[in-house]
Amino acid sequence: MLGAIMPLLVAAFIVDHTVRLGVVVATVSLALVVFGWIGAVLGRTPVVKSCLRILVGGWMAMAITFGLTKWIGSIGL
């Protein structure tokens, strides 16, 4: 829930599509790194490896979701 609310709060106050997209990606990237760090600390695993794994996985999920919404013709963003 915390991971989903951050980009929604950021996107709610930005009108321009291009700026909003960039700010959401930056916000989500920061949140992914933070959640990767928390998971690494709690799981006692290497921090950099965990942060990168979570970050790259999140970027892939965002890219796939963005691509699919463009493919089906969604007009949300």
What confidence tens digit (pLDDT) does each residue in 15-68 have? 888 899 899 889 999 999 999 999 999 999 999 999 999 999 999 998 998 888
Q: Using 50, 70 and 90 to split pLDDT, how confident is the model at 77? A: low
Domain residue limits at 21 = 4-75
Count the domains in the chain.
1
pLDDT of residue 40: 96
| Structural tokens at position 38 | 């928390």
SS3 content of the chain, % helix, strand, coil (to 5): 85, 0, 15
Greater confidence (14 vs 75) lies with 14
**DSSP category for residue 15:** -
Greater confidence (75 vs 9) lies with 9
Q: Which residue has the tokens 């930056």?
A: 26
| Structural tokens at position 34 | 């933070």
